[in-house]
A = this chain, B = another copy of it.
Amino acid sequence: MIDKTAQILKALGEPTRLRIVRLLKERELCICELVVVMDMSQPRISQHVKILKQAGIVRERKEKQRCFFSLDDRLKVGKLISMENLMNTNIEIISELQAEGTRLQNIDHNQQVIECRNQLEPVSI
């Protein structure tokens, strides 16, 4: 029980994973999209997403050869993360997330891989 809660908080307590969760809070994304947006190696993203999944934070939907991930609504992590306004400085986060959302508008899941890979530029959140 306490360990489950700790597991969730620990999974969220790592910058890369926290960034992934914030992105997934905006919309469902697949690994290759995360790779492009976050400008990190594919194994690195996969490994972090796996940890989020093990903690029950994220759920998976397979479509063709892609795996789309989104926040698991059963856990109200999205709400918890938006509770970052419980923390001191929160205004920046929100504006950053909004900027992020704008960048993500460019992602079109029906487009080809090459476009997924080349159309986006790395974003720092």
Contacts and interface: CB of A to CB of B under 8 A. Distances in A.
- Tell me the number of copies of this protein: 2
Q: State the main secondary structure of chain A at its contact with B.
A: helix
Contact of A15 (B3, B87, B93): B3
A64 interface: no
A111 interface: no
Interface of A: 1-15, 18-19, 22, 56, 74-77, 79-80, 83-84, 86-89, 92-93, 96, 125
20 contacts: A1-B92, A2-B15, A4-B87, A5-B18, A6-B14, A7-B13, A8-B87, A9-B9, A9-B10, A9-B12, A9-B18, A10-B14, A12-B13, A56-B88, A75-B86, A75-B87, A76-B86, A77-B86, A79-B86, A83-B83
